[in-house]
Amino acid sequence: MDESAAERVPPTQPHKTKTKRRFLFSCNGVLNWPISDPTNNWVDAVASSSLTRRAVVGAFAASLIPAGSKVEAQEVKWSSGSAKPRVTAPPGAIDCHFHTYDKRYPPMAGATLLPEDASPDDYRALQGRLGTTRGVIIQPSTYGTDNRLQIASRQALGAENFRVVAVVAEDISDAELRQLNDQGVRGVRFNLGFPGVLTVASLKVLAPRLAELGWTCQINMRPKQIEENANLLMALSGRLVFDHLAQVPQPGGLDSAPYKIIRGLLDRGKTWIKLSGAYVSSKSGPPDYADAGAVASAYVKAAPERMVWGSDWPHPSEREHKPDDARLFELLAEWSQSEAMLKKILVTNPTELYGFSPSAQ
CA 237, 188, 142: angle at the middle one, nearest 5?
A: 145
Does residue 136 sit in the same domain as residue 248? yes
Q: What is the pLDDT along the chain (361 residues), one digit of tens a residue?
A: 433 333 333 333 334 333 333 333 333 333 332 323 333 444 333 233 334 444 444 445 444 544 444 456 678 999 999 999 999 999 999 999 999 999 999 999 999 999 999 999 999 999 999 999 999 999 999 999 999 999 999 999 999 999 999 999 999 999 999 999 999 999 999 999 888 899 999 999 999 999 999 999 999 999 999 999 999 999 999 999 999 999 999 999 999 999 999 999 999 999 999 999 999 999 999 999 999 999 999 999 999 999 999 999 999 999 889 999 999 999 999 999 999 999 999 999 999 999 999 866 5
The pLDDT of residue 5 is 35
- What confidence score (pLDDT) does residue 4 get? 36
Residue 88 lies inside a defined structural domain of this protein: no
Element housing 126 (H / E): helix 120-130
pLDDT score of 195: 82
Classify residue 332: in a domain, yes or no: yes
Q: 157 and 262: one domain?
A: yes
Are 230 and 153 part of one and the same domain? yes
pTM of the model: 0.81
pLDDT confidence of residue 67: 40
Q: What is the pLDDT of residue 287?
A: 96
Shared domain check, 174 and 283: yes
Residue type at 305?
A: E
Strands (E), the chain: 21-25, 31-36, 94-98, 134-138, 162-166, 185-191, 216-220, 239-242, 271-275, 307-309
Asked whether residue 121 is domain-assigned, the answer is: yes
Residue (of 280, 289, 284, 238) closest to 258 by Cα position = 280
pLDDT of residue 91: 97
**First-residue to last-residue Cα distance in the chain:** 29
Model pLDDT, residue 72? 60
* 3-state DSSP assignment of residue 358: helix
The pLDDT, as a whole number, for residue 305 is 98
The total of other beta-carbon atoms located within 10 Å of residue 4's CB is 11
Return the CATH number at 311: 3.20.20.140
Residue-by-residue DSSP string for 151-201: HHHHHHH-GGGEEEEE---TT--HHHHHHHHHTTEEEEEEETTSS-S--HH
Q: Are residues 52 and 176 in the same domain?
A: no
**Same structural domain, 165 and 314:** yes
> Quick check: is 87 in a domain?
no
- In terms of domains, do 224 and 344 share one? yes
Number of independent structural domains in the chain:
2
Contacts of 109 (CB under 8 A, 6+ apart): none
Q: Give catalytic residues, as residue numbers.
A: 312
- Tell whether the torsion through CA atoms of 205, 210, 212 and 213 is positive or negative: positive
- The verdict on residue 76 lying in a domain is no
Q: Is residue 310 part of a domain?
A: yes
Domain identity same for 183 and 309: yes
Query: What gap in Å lies between CA 259 and CA 287, rounded to an integer?
Result: 23
Do residues 42 and 114 both lie within one domain?
no
With respect to residue 288, please indicate whether it lies within any of the assigned structural domains.
Answer: yes
Residues 334 and 42: beta-carbon distance below 8 Å: no
Do 111 and 33 reside in the same domain of the chain? no
318 and 276 housed in the same domain? yes
Same domain, 231 and 355: yes
Domain assignment present for 78: no
Among 44, 62, 80, identify where a domain stops: 62
Range of the domain at 250: 94-360
